[in-house]
Structure 1
């Protein structure tokens, strides 16, 4: 009814033009709706992709943080000003707090011993040795520093070096003992001939023979040490051992010096290397004789103190 009224009121050419413009406008609206729908879909896809990227970045950041904490060492990250901006738990344990915002020279002065160490090693005040590695992050002024505790490996290296030195000492001791043994055997033979037919307690030959026998026992101990065949489980009568030490020392006494043995419990026994222990006691006795001079009095004794002698 309305269209008929419009058609009647308008010339045919004007109506035709109006109709064409209406169709064109309708077509433009549909095209615009399609574009809006397309842009909406693209925006949704973009937001979805961006959300996925954010999730991936968060996951990556979490993995990096976990990796940082799992590293077998202290990790320090320095910003462009040289201050610590990040650190892991191991760093807080090794270097104590506070760390964030501090410079590396501050940490070195606070936590380390300023000794003559190599550029890549530092020593904590508790004695632990840390290996230092540092790298620049990309082209920026930021830097990452890794400190690893190498105390155990350093101790193993030192123990290996000590073992090698002991082996070298053992070999040298064996060679020296063998070189001494031949002339010592001849000296023992001559001394035994000198002491025969004389008072064994006063003759110079007897005293010389006793000292040579002590030297022979020392050489045997050296050979036992070099071969590793120490007899550390030998049962030893303490009273008898001290009596032998006193007898050996009596040969060096001055005219006014005295040596006595005082043991309350005559049943004291210990386990160890008899020759090595006697040699050590004889050395102590020699030192005592030198300190006392010509008129000293030396007393050898032993007693039980709980589970010790």
Structure 2
């Protein structure tokens, strides 16, 4: 399942001037870029097509697009825009549920709650400077005697308008949909979406296809942990990441067992490994400090001589 970023349309209703809007849009695009680094299947959905959006009172996105320095940002926004318009997501429950924040109806925040997405806002007002947002949800519910009544409650919705807000949502975003991956082949097929900082030798497809069923969950956890470690790795300050799981090199006597043909056709030693249980399982990889990634070479039982 992809990660949906739901634009909070209320954050586009301020009276900010053009300079502040340009700064806010720069920060907003940076926010989306960071989410895209987490997952390749992240997409942005909005209440109306982006080309018709007003960014603030009296300032349209068309005016913002007219500035040449915003051209690349605009192209990125179009890339992030989901194929289906936001209204089609919300229309299925029109009249049955409504979300309001500070007495204003909010389809963006509401949809984020309905589809377990992340509400995102332009950072133009202090009220959007938060990691969670609590709209009031009103919904029709049927009682035991078949009578419909209106039920109101406050709900919590994931939210971000600044890069620092994303920290608490990173683990959720990376794991969203991974629970639905139930075979090694499916894990291989979705590797680029869930593990953007990992690359895999072609031979690993067979390792995953024949993976013991009791290793599927541990392998998913290991790969998520490795990817998270690499995402936080400052290659200029440290020779390797701060690992989220135990990682050790092979002994000198066993390094000769860890040679694999790399993606460029050169044989290299992949002696760094993490462990899977039950039984003696290993995940072998090597670090690529030049781009902050790792290459996975082997997943399976401990390599024997």
Give the TM-score band, short-chain normalised.
Answer: under 0.3
Which protein is richer in helix relative to its size? 1
Q: Which has the higher contact order (CA 8 A, sep 6+)?
A: 2
TM-score of the two chains, using structure 1 as the length reference? 0.22
TM-score, with normalisation over the residues of structure 2? 0.22
